[in-house]
A and B are shown apart, each in its own frame.
Chain A
Amino acid sequence: MPDIHDESSFERHPKPGVDHLDYAGEQGMAVEQETLVEPDPEKREEARSLWGDAWRDLRRRPIFLISAVLILLLIVMAIFPGAFTDADPRKADLVNDYLKRPDWTDFFGAGWFGYDGQGRSIYARVVYGARASITVGIFVTAIVTLLGGLCGMVAGYFGGPVDALLSRIIDIFFGIPLLLGALVLLNAFSTRTVWTVVVALGVLGWTQIARVMRGAVLTVKQADYVMAGRALGAGTGRLMFRHILPNAVAPVIVVATIALGGYIATEATLSFLGIGLQDPTISWGIDISSAQKVIRTAPYVLFFPAAALSITVLAFIMLGDAVRDALDPKLR
């Protein structure tokens, strides 16, 4: 993605004035540029960076705004479920609440979404279920980004035999389907928590990021400013982390954001199959699995956790899409 590192290189090797106009012209946003010109050259540079530009672009996208708000909401829900409902997700009242239908007058109350086949509040379970999904999504993404990013960076930067070796390892892991690999791995554990699932998915899921990172590093490595840095005697660490990483990380962020939604879906799939999370962890996947038994008599038991899962996955994928568009205008 040469356009990205070009822009960034301007940031690092400023030639005020010239690239301003060039860039604005390229973006077809000349008018906007005029109005936003900052008097202070320092600040002006900030505004012109890849990230600043992407952020400005994002702010204007409704898709981004919607998904960001949703994700924010889900994260708050995951951290403070008690703020959304007073109901206890594990309280089961078979006598009064067995498969009770949704009661829309009970707005945001325990009976809002109805009750499941154990007499538990579906609303409370949907709210509390967010934690498992969000935790798995975020932590798996963190692991794969770190692991894959590091591996891709090393492979791309050093090249030669190091690259050959790491690339083969990546190929080997890449050959294991995520879901199948996780099934086999998780089957080995008789008790599984959120962290077991996080580690299993993290260990199996890092290869895509590694490949993206490697490709980006290979491109950036050829840039003039990297050559210059090397010529000026910059060490490996400085070159890698100060010059190459900031310019190669954008595609990784895009891939990671989109994949995050995928990990959440994978967790739900594993839990649905009975091989992911287990009681007493509250997970949408588990609830969807148990809801299928009453799908014909009480479809709402299936509907709400399934809708929550769909919305969450969709929010992350939409966010990833928006971020990609902003960071990589060529793909638009």
Chain B
Amino acid sequence: MPVATRARWVLAAATSVALVASGCSSSGGGGSSGSSDSAKTFSYQSSEPQNPLQPANANETGGGRIIQNLFKGLVDYDPSNAKIRMQVADKIDTSDSQTFNITLKDGWTFHDGTPVHAKNFVDAWNWAATTANNQINSSWFSDIEGYQDVHPASGQPATNKMSGLTVVDDLHFTVKLSGKVSYFEYKLGYIAFSPLPDAFFNDPAGYGQKPVGNGPYQFVSWDHNQQLTTKAYANYQGVDKPKNGGVVFKMYSTAEAAYADLQSNNLDVMDQVPPSALATYKTDLGDRAIDSPQGAIQNIGFTLYQADWAAPDKAKVRQGLSMAIDRDTITKTVLQGSRKPATAWVAEGVEGYKDGQCGQFCTFNAAQAKQLVTEGGGVPGNRLTITYNADGGHKEWVDAVCNSIRQSTGVDCVGDPRPDFKTARAAITGHQINGAFRTGWVQDYPLNANFLADVYRTGAASNDFGYSNPQFDQLSTQADQAASVADSVTGYQQAEAVLASGMPAIPLWYYRTNSGYSTKVQNVKFDSFGNPAWTQVEVKG
């Protein structure tokens, strides 16, 4: 039973105060544009990882983007078109969408020089899936046969090996799923499926502070809350050989600080410009500004696990609140056109995106909004708090959404800022939220299933709402078992339609990547994941 799973919660900015002065990553600047020095590193606006750096233990962007660079799985997604491309895998074959025969390329090595073999994948996946190891992304492996044995719903696991994984030889292994998952290979590009070197298993905790991967970059040092330094791995076998000397992830607590650093060339590539700069960043940066679509969505989630919100008629209240939000105006004004109003729970541009799934509930209509809220018995205490992380530039739109809700429905609405993303996420995953909270979702793989099964299915790792709907579960399970990816996509569209009736989360808008880079780098292009094509960034000589 796939009880699917995980992906990275979008965030935006983050972290440390201190750095600021700590200068650029690369030595010196200048030089004529066009020429580049493949030995020089560049810096990137990041945030302190929530967890130690173990591939299956990062479901937020801070840790996720670092792991993405340190590791390379069987497949990844081409930054230019989001299509799957083979990396460590030579080929992935299946005849029945249930058993997958995987062949590895020869010659891949970890940063410690040991070869990447079939057992490195199998051991890593078994370890990550096992309850005892407490990995946040463990449910990613729930498609695999035997997952229940290593990760029972309760109690101790009977074994620490999933029966569906079989090593054939050094370069071959098979994966048998407990059911048909027609799009399984899409998932394999996610960081949780990264291989681990033998050294990992001796000291997983210590490894998390000093990870050794097989990706384009190798770990150099991690100065907590300041920066994490990597350098290009000379023996990298992937199709995307680094054109630079490494990435320095600088931890920022505010996007404003990062933007100031970018303008003074102390930061090379932004993750996302702060709202305060949206109106001006294209003028500020000229042709160094970036505005590209992203497979990500912003939502307001509800605490359906609270008695106040669990009652069936509260769905009407949530629908009403959704209708009370003037998405068009807010995206145009407060968000400076950096977002596009959402009409569905799946982001635009993702395979299976269907416009209008949310129907009338995502269209602003104050009168009907008020009526629905009243019919549903109103918001508990007539007061809604929206919890959000204060380090991500969310205050402006949360305030605007609250104003919109208050003025349309009379429900008092206030933002509840938490100091940083980590704190906010801890409160959300720990069910310490009262009422509503900001959530975002960046695709893990460009398929609608990722926006649905991994978020809204009963017990899914990122189901922070406590949403449980048998019809949704059934439809998504059917979609997983479809004969083809195309059928699966249609199946998930049917499941998505179910969300409109329960409204566990209000879709707000789709993300765009509004970013920019310093004068010291060039060839910076962002993919639909909102990440730059790391290895393609060129640092001017």
Q: Which A residues contact B (CB, under 8 angstroms)?
A: 90-92, 94-95, 98-99, 117-120, 190, 274, 278-280, 290, 292-297
A279 to B406, CA, bound (A): 13
Taking A117-B396, A292-B276, A297-B279 as contacts, is the C-beta distance between A94 and B415 under 8 angstroms? Answer: no
The interface on chain B, measured as residues whose beta carbon lies within 8 A of the other chain's beta carbons, has a size of 26
- Choose among B279, B326, B396 the residue that contacts A290 (Cβ–Cβ < 8 A): B396
Which of B275, B279, B334, B416 touches A118 (beta carbons < 8 Å)?
B334
Known contacts: A95-B329, A278-B414, A279-B399. The answer to whether A117 contacts B279 by CB under 8 A is no
B280 CB–A CB distance under 8 Å: yes
**Residues A94 and B275 in contact in the complex (CB < 8 Å), given A290-B395, A296-B280:** no
* A118 touching B400 in the complex, CB below 8 Å, given contacts A95-B326, A98-B333, A290-B395: yes
Inter-chain contact A94/B330, CB cutoff 8 Å? yes
B390 at the interface (CB under 8 A from A): yes
Instruction: Give the distance in Å from the alpha carbon of A118 to the alpha carbon of B326 in the complex.
Output: 13
Q: Does B532 contact A (CB under 8 A)?
A: no
Closest to B284 in A: A296
Using Cβ atoms and an 8 Å threshold, which residues of chain A touch B245?
none
Is the pair B403, A118 in contact by a Cβ cutoff of 8 Å? yes
In angstroms, Cα B336 to Cα A98, docked, is 11
Contacts of B329 in A (CB 8 A): 94-95, 98
A279:B415 contact, CB within 8 angstroms: yes
Q: B390 — which chain A residues lie within 8 A by C-beta?
A: 274
What are the 10 tightest A-B residue pairs by CB atom distance, in nearest-first order?
A: A293-B276, A92-B403, A98-B333, A94-B329, A94-B333, A279-B414, A297-B279, A95-B329, A118-B399, A280-B414
Given contacts A94-B329, A94-B333, 16 further A-B contacts (CB under 8 A): A90-B403, A94-B330, A94-B334, A95-B329, A118-B334, A119-B403, A120-B403, A274-B390, A274-B417, A279-B399, A279-B402, A279-B415, A294-B276, A294-B279, A296-B279, A297-B280
B351 beta carbon closer than 8 Å to chain A: no
Contact with A along B241-276 (1 / 0, CB 8 A): 000000000000000100000000000000000111
In the complex, which residues of chain B have a beta carbon less than 8 angstroms from the beta carbon of A278?
A: 414
What does DSSP make chain A's interface, helix, strand, loop or mixed? loop
Nearest-Cβ distance from residue B303 to partner chain A, whole angstroms: 16
A-B pairs with beta carbons under 8 Å apart, 13 shown: A91-B407, A92-B404, A94-B326, A94-B334, A94-B400, A95-B326, A279-B414, A292-B276, A294-B276, A294-B279, A295-B276, A296-B276, A297-B279
Residue from A292, A293, A294, A297 with most neighbouring chain B CB atoms (10 Å): A293
Q: A297 to B330: give the CA distance in the assembly, Å.
A: 17
Pair B396/A293 contact, Cβ less than 8 Å: yes
B185 within 8 A of A: no
Which chain B residues lie closer than 8 Å to A98 at the CB level? Answer: 329, 333-334
| Chain B residues engaging chain A, CB cutoff 8 angstroms | 256, 274-276, 279-280, 326, 329-330, 333-334, 390, 395-396, 399-400, 402-404, 406-407, 412, 414-417
For A91, the chain B residues whose CB sits under 8 A away are: 407
CA A161 – CA B275 in complex, angstroms? 59
Q: Please give, as numbers and ranges, the residues of chain A lying within 8 Å of B274 by CB-CB distance.
A: 293
Residues of A within 8 A of B399 (CB): 118, 279, 290
Q: A270 to nearest B CB, angstroms? A: 14
A90/B395 contact (C-beta < 8 A), A117-B334, A118-B334 known:
no
**Closest partner residue, chain A, to B399 (CB atom):** A118
Q: Which residue of A lies closest to B414 (CB)?
A: A279
B433 to chain A, nearest CB (A): 12
For A90, the chain B residues whose CB sits under 8 A away are 403, 406
Question: Separation in Å of the A80 CB from the closest CB of chain B?
Answer: 23
Identify the closest chain A residue to B330 (Cβ).
A94
Query: What's the least CB distance linking B3 to chain A, in Å?
Result: 33
Closest to B383 in A: A280
- Shortest distance from the beta carbon of A211 to any chain B beta carbon, whole Å: 34
The residues of A that contact B326 with a CB separation of less than 8 Å are 94-95
List residues of chain A with CB within 8 A of the CB of B395.
290
Contacts of A118 in B (CB 8 A): 334, 396, 399-400, 403
- Measured CA separation A296–B284 after assembly (Å): 11
Whole-angstrom CA separation of A91 from B417 in the bound complex: 21
Per the bound structure, the CA–CA distance linking A90 and B417 in Å amounts to 19
CA–CA, A117 and B275, complex, Å: 11
Chain A positions within 8 Å of B330 at CB level: 94
* Given A278-B414, A280-B412; A92-B400 close (CB under 8 Å): yes
Minimal Cβ-Cβ distance residue in A for B385: A191
